[in-house]
Amino acid sequence: METLESIRVPRALMVTPRDLVRHSVLHVFGDASEAAYGAVAYLMTESLDRAKEVRFCLTPARQEQKHI
């Protein structure tokens, strides 16, 4: 349990102040089959000092399957 107390989960998408950001890129990945689908999005931010950070943005919530 002591190890769990040391884990921090950041909530903000961008921790670096906007005026110190060199550039940012949104990466979105997805895949699907007839049985299932999945997708995820991450935001990669590079600061002026070239430090990079990657933040988890979203993954789709459960959705009803559509039959075509």
Give the model's pLDDT for residue 27.
Answer: 94
- For 40, counting Cβ atoms within 10 Å of its Cβ (0-12 exposed, 13-18 middle, 19+ buried), the class is middle
Give the model's pLDDT for residue 67.
Answer: 64
Q: Rounded to an integer, what distance in angstroms lies between the CA atom of residue 55 and that of residue 7?
A: 15
Side-chain-side CA neighbours of 21 within 13 Å: the count stands at 14
- The residue ranges of every structural domain in the chain are 2-58
**pTM for this prediction:** 0.64
Asked whether residue 22 carries a pLDDT value surpassing 70, the answer given is: yes
